[in-house]
């Protein structure tokens, strides 16, 4: 019973407190507070991150190097031209017929008679060594080349051709002489064998004749 009364008293007291709070007048707002302007807050700019700018690389083409100029060909002297002409003629002679070579020999003889130059000597010597032109005249060819080969001084193109031709003719003559020597030796052996054979036949015939005569005499006795 006492607990119920306490609850009733407490509820009445709380109700009275709420009523007093509702009836209390509000405090007036001071004029200074009403006249105060609103405070403006300064806006801070947002931080801007700089965008990296790529580095521009300017590529320059390398300077063009001037093309090397070709050095002018050295001039060909007259003797080199004559040597080249002789080599060309030698190639032509190798395929020509016998009649053509005979005409070439006649023309070369006439040219040498008019001008006894080294080129004319070598040309005629070459023609004289070709077997298709007839019997080679190696001794005359050597006599034509000897003044050029035996000349002292630097080896000029014409002298080189003459020396090569001279060596070939000399080697061919040596081979011919060696072949002739072997042929002569073989012929001597053959002649000696034939002489022995003839002597044997003669001796046999003598022996055969003497034996017949002796036999005939015995029969007669």
Q: Is the pLDDT of residue 146 over 70?
A: yes
The pLDDT of residue 108 is above 90: yes
Say if 35 falls within a structural domain.
no
**Model pLDDT, residue 50:** 67
Interacting residues of 129 by C-beta distance below 8 A, sequence separation 6+: 136, 137, 138, 141, 165, 168, 169, 172
Mean pLDDT of the chain: 76
> Average pLDDT for residues 186-211, to the nearest whole number?
82
Lowest mean pLDDT among 39-43, 45-49, 69-73: 39-43
The count of structural domains within the chain is 1
Whether residue 113 is contained in a domain is answered as: yes
Is 13 part of a structural domain of the chain? no
Per-residue pLDDT at 219: 47
Q: Is residue 11 part of a domain?
A: no
User: Tokens for 154?
Assistant: 């630097």
Residue 48 in any domain: the answer is no
pLDDT on residue 169: 92
Does a structural domain hold residue 42?
A: no
Q: What percent of the chain has pLDDT over 70?
A: 61
Task: Identify the pLDDT of residue 69.
Answer: 72
55 lies in a domain? Answer: no
| 7-25 confidence digits (pLDDT tens) | 554 555 555 554 554 454 5
Task: Kindly state whether residue 58 falls inside one of the protein's structural domains.
Answer: no
* Poorest-pLDDT segment among 59-63, 103-107, 168-172, 201-205: 59-63
- Residues 6 or more apart whose CB falls under 8 angstroms from that of 109 comprise 124
Residues 120, 163: Cα–Cα separation, whole Å: 15
Domain of 157 in residue numbering reads as: 79-180
């Amino acid at each position: 019973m006492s607990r119920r009364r306490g609850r009733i008293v407490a509820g009445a007291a709380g109700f009275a407190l709420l009523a007093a709070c509702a009836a209390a007048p509000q405090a007036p707002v001071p004029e200074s507070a009403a006249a105060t302007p609103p405070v403006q807050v300064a806006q801070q700019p947002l931080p801007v991150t700089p965008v990296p700018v790529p580095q521009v690389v300017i590529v320059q083409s390398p300077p063009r190097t001037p093309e090397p100029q070709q050095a002018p060909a050295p001039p060909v002297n007259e003797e080199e031209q004559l040597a080249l002409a002789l080599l060309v003629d030698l190639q032509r002679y190798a395929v020509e017929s016998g009649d053509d070579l005979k005409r070439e020999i006649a023309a070369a003889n006439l040219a040498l008679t008019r001008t006894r130059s080294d080129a004319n000597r070598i040309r005629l010597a070459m023609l004289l060594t070709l077997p298709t032109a007839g019997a080679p005249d190696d001794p005359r060819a050597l006599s034509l080349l000897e003044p050029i080969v035996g000349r002292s001084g630097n080896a000029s193109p014409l002298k080189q051709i003459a020396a090569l031709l001279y060596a070939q003719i000399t080697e061919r003559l040596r081979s011919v002489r060696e072949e002739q020597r072997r042929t002569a030796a073989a012929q001597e052996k053959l002649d000696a064998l034939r002489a022995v054979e003839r002597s044997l036949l003669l001796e046999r015939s003598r022996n055969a004749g003497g034996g017949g005569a002796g036999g005939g005499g015995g029969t007669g006795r």
